[in-house]
Amino acid sequence: MTESPLRITDHDAVRVITIHRPERLNALDSATLDALHAAADAAADDSAVRVVVLTGAGPKAFVAGADIAEMSGLTPAQGRDFALRGQRMMRRFERLPKPVIAMVNGFALGGGLELAMCCHLRIAADTARVGQPEIGLGLVPGFGGTQRLLRLAGRAAALELCLTGTPVDAARALQLGIVNKVVPAAELETETMALAARLAAAAPLALRGILDCILVGGESGLEEGLEYEAAQFGLVFASEDMREGTAAFLDKRKPVFHGR
């Protein structure tokens, strides 16, 4: 039986998914793409999981990219299928109804940056480096890199990173808006898990509504997006969590949310 490329552990309501291919710097091959997609499905279906953290094994890499050894022999049709396979997996994480945090512990290059960008939040070690170096291989980013980088960092930065292929350090990534926070490498896990625990204690239905408003409503025009937001706002009024949150505020106590 083939060993899984993932290590999955639960810490209360936080599920940590670790890509465990340290000998290949956690490169994404077809088996890993499929395992990640299945892990996203499982996290979505598990009511005990409120937050997901994605990271890579070892001190060097989050994910160093797609598996070049596998890609090198693909035909044009197979290359397109491989790109679509990766895009579907990343879209699954992006549309997960629970917050997904990328814990970027090292190199996030090519498919690695693409995987980090599909997460809702990104915390990077100060030693991390990110980039889209596909140009050096005669390739185009294929797992959503051109599109998400454009939306996160803007046209100028997307063109710079994709056309030159030159990675940037964590500080520049923060400046460009590619990551949300940079912390010392020794504090990365502590900081990430603290954020995950904070989100896990929040109202799950409200979290889901916020994700939908930004990720779904944000893909439409302003008027349509505002209508979508108002609809989501109204829906949470039917929840016990909304009653608990407002009552706790008025009672000057900490709310306890149950996701219903």
Q: What is the rounded distance in angstroms from the CA atom of residue 211 to the CA atom of residue 254? A: 23
Q: Catalytic: which of 23, 70, 94, 134?
A: 134
Nearest to 129 by CA among 26, 56, 60, 33: 60
CB-count exposure of residue 73 (10 Å: 0-12, 13-18, 19+): exposed
CB-count exposure of residue 47 (10 Å: 0-12, 13-18, 19+): exposed
| Residues 257/244, Cβ–Cβ less than 8 Å | yes
Q: What is the rounded distance in angstroms from the CA atom of residue 188 to the CA atom of residue 123? A: 8
Q: What is the rounded distance in angstroms from the CA atom of residue 221 to the CA atom of residue 184? A: 39
Nearest to 146 by CA among 87, 224, 104, 100: 87
Q: State the virtual CA torsion across 174, 180, 185, 188 in degrees, nearest 10.
A: 180
| Residues 18/32, Cβ–Cβ less than 8 Å | no
Tokens representing 97? 């109804």
Q: Catalytic: which of 3, 94, 114, 223?
A: 114
Token look-up 């944000």 returns 218
Q: What is the largest CA-CA distance in the chain?
A: 64
33: alpha, beta or left? (left if phi > 0; alpha if psi -120 to 50):
alpha
Catalytic status, residue 114: yes
- Residues labelled as active-site residues: 114, 134
